[in-house]
Amino acid sequence: MKKDIFTYILFLNIFILISICFEIIKIRWEFTQEYENHAYLKVANNKLAEINLHLKTEYYHLSSPAKVERHAKDILQMVEITEVTNINYEK
């Protein structure tokens, strides 16, 4: 009777130990996946930061005053005002 209880406790302990080992393996695998995801996200963040820098540079280039003035002179045929003329409207 006592021997049966000891074998039952022994098998219960072995089962618990195996369950804990499988849980540790699963957690280590999840940690590995999270580190890989973190590395991928860092690379993606660096790429997006680079794209953002290029877009900001392009925006500042396209909206620079020299570019706007050149566009006004060449394409819209606007001229610079040299003399100020006052127009008085009388009733």
Question: For the chain, which residues make up each domain, given as ranges?
Answer: 2-74
| For residue 87, pLDDT beyond 90 | no
The whole-angstrom separation of Cα 42 and Cα 53 is 17
Cα 69 from chain centre: 36
The whole-angstrom separation of Cα 18 and Cα 12 is 10
Helices (H), the chain: 2-62, 65-74
> Residue 63: its pLDDT value, please?
85
> Residue 78: its pLDDT value, please?
80
> Residue 91: its pLDDT value, please?
66
Q: What is the pLDDT of residues 20-74, one digit of tens each?
A: 999 999 999 999 999 999 999 999 999 999 999 999 999 998 888 888 888 888 8
Mean predicted confidence (pLDDT) in 78-91: 78
